[in-house]
A and B are shown apart, each in its own frame.
Chain A
Amino acid sequence: MKNNIYIGGDSFCFDRYGPYGPAIGWPAMLADKLNLILTGAGFPGRGFWNVRLNLIDYLKDNDNYDYTDLFIFCHTNPDRLISKDYSRSLIGVRYDAYPPPPNNKEIVEMYDKYLYEQDIHDWAMKRWYSELNTILKGKPVVHLFCFQPSERLSHNLNGFKLSNNLHIRARDAGINNNIDDYALVPTGPEYPNHFPISTNIKIADELANYYLNEISLNTTQTKYFDIDI
């Protein structure tokens, strides 16, 4: 019987298997390489709350904890709304999760203008990291950081932590090179998870090799690592 791999996060791990079956994104490619069943989900534009809800729901089945060989998280920006209904990205509202009226844009603008406090969002993200340490104690965990702010808080996390955030890597791998404009992260069918197909393949290859050569031998280490993508 195959064991599981859980991959959860934001849009950087959203694309998985294509509509006709074959893997189109690095999460599915990685699961295939390791001969594991892919679980978890990517929530585009969402904050960590949706990932947390998904993980807690997944772990309600005790077997899932025991039979998951590897957990991978793509940690999004702490600035995003802590909400299951509304989404907020760095550049405002990119994704509509079909929330009830008023629309997502109005809610996020009101929140940004009157209620947003970076200290509170940073604190919540740090507490989420601390909760992850507790929930997944004893399991191998890889942390990928999607943006610089989520990377900035990474010292609170246990596990294998990828140096340099995915946003920089996506930007470098894409067609745009304006480092100051978050809007220029490549998107669309040619860029699953914001990367060209070739980079998705490369990420899956590198993470699979790192898992087999490092993580599976020292499952509960805490260290920063790097891969060549």
Chain B
Amino acid sequence: MHVYIGGDSYCYARGPSTWPYVFADRLNATLEGIGFAGRGFWRTRLHLMEYLDKGYDADLFVFCHTEPSRMLSSTYAGGIHKAFDLNSQIPPNNREIIKIYNTYLYDQDVHDWAMSQWFLELNEILKQKPVIHFFIEHPTKQLSEQLNGYKLESSLFTHTRNSNVGSLDPLVENYPKVVNHFTTDYNIKFGNALADYCLNEVLPNPMQTKYFDLDII
């Protein structure tokens, strides 16, 4: 069995004791895909299209959908909330580009539209596959109505807060002590809870579309 997990920093770390690893291990599956920290959906889309074009075909797909405000770019990272410094971007650096973009060109309607079109494209591309969707924040979730598959009701940001990472800005601080924005303990619990749900609900009914939640104990 092959599991593809794609998205942003919420699925970036994949070593032992991370939720992607625990989840794949519990399913006895090979873990594929990648998380692009700080990036918009475009990098995830490029990776998925390349993966499928090369003839790979996972049995289950999981996506951590990032905020729609992030740049549509294969090179630059960042969104309306913050810019990320990438070493490869000089000159001008990533932060300068994002600042100019956010000041003069950012249009939430355009970004929301692009994200909704990406969701529709995912429905078309993966219409024969079981898919689980996570959303980093509620604004992303508001666009999720049109997505097919299993959709996590609670935002990943909520899970970050629940994991008691101990930071006022848990999305960026405490790395590498905190990976995928969860503590190690929460990574393991999250991976196990997702595996339980997948084994009991998703795999027996792979083509359903519904919202669900995970009981992280």
Whole-angstrom CA separation of A100 from B103 in the bound complex: 11
* Docked-complex contact B76 and A115, CB < 8 angstroms: yes
Q: A210 contacts the other chain (Cβ, under 8 Å)?
A: no
Whole-angstrom CA separation of A110 from B74 in the bound complex: 17
Given A49-B110, A120-B42, A127-B121, A115 and B97 touching (CB < 8 A)?
yes
Given A115-B97, A117-B73, A82 and B121 touching (CB < 8 A)?
no
Given A82-B110, A86-B105, A120 and B73 touching (CB < 8 A)?
yes
The residue on A at minimum CB distance from B94 is A114
Q: A3 contacts the other chain (Cβ, under 8 Å)?
A: no
* Docked-complex contact B107 and A111, CB < 8 angstroms: no
Whole-angstrom CA separation of A143 from B112 in the bound complex: 26
Q: B56 contacts the other chain (Cβ, under 8 Å)?
A: no
Q: B203 contacts the other chain (Cβ, under 8 Å)?
A: no
Q: How many A-B Cβ pairs are below 8 Å?
A: 45
* Docked-complex contact B110 and A83, CB < 8 angstroms: yes
Which residues of A have CB within 8 Å of B74? 117, 119-120
Set B92, B105, B110: member contacting A111, Cβ < 8 A: B105
* Docked-complex contact A127 and B97, CB < 8 angstroms: no
* Docked-complex contact A130 and B120, CB < 8 angstroms: yes
Q: A21 contacts the other chain (Cβ, under 8 Å)?
A: no
Q: What distance in Å separates the Cβ of A92 from its nearest Cβ neighbour in chain B?
A: 16
* Docked-complex contact B117 and A131, CB < 8 angstroms: yes
Chain A 112-139 interface mask (CB, 8 Å, partner B; 1/0): 0011010110001001001100000000
Task: Give the bracket for the number of chain A residues in contact with chain B.
Answer: 20 to 34
Q: B175 contacts the other chain (Cβ, under 8 Å)?
A: no
Chain B 53-75 interface mask (CB, 8 Å, partner A; 1/0): 00000000000000000011110
Whole-angstrom CA separation of A82 from B107 in the bound complex: 9
The residue on A at minimum CB distance from B76 is A115
* Docked-complex contact B114 and A124, CB < 8 angstroms: yes
* Docked-complex contact B97 and A114, CB < 8 angstroms: yes
Set A83, A102, A114: member contacting B107, Cβ < 8 A: A83
Which residues of B have CB within 8 Å of A114? 76, 92, 97
Set A52, A102, A131: member contacting B104, Cβ < 8 A: A102
Cβ < 8 Å to B, chain A residues 61-88? 81-86
Q: Which residues of A contact B (CB under 8 A)?
A: 49, 52, 81-86, 100, 102, 107, 110-111, 114-115, 117, 119-120, 124, 127, 130-131
- 29 pairs, CB–CB < 8 Å, chain A vs chain B: A49-B110, A52-B113, A81-B105, A82-B107, A83-B105, A83-B107, A83-B110, A84-B110, A86-B105, A100-B104, A107-B105, A110-B100, A114-B76, A114-B92, A114-B97, A115-B71, A115-B73, A115-B97, A117-B72, A117-B73, A119-B74, A120-B72, A120-B73, A124-B114, A124-B117, A127-B114, A127-B120, A130-B117, A131-B117
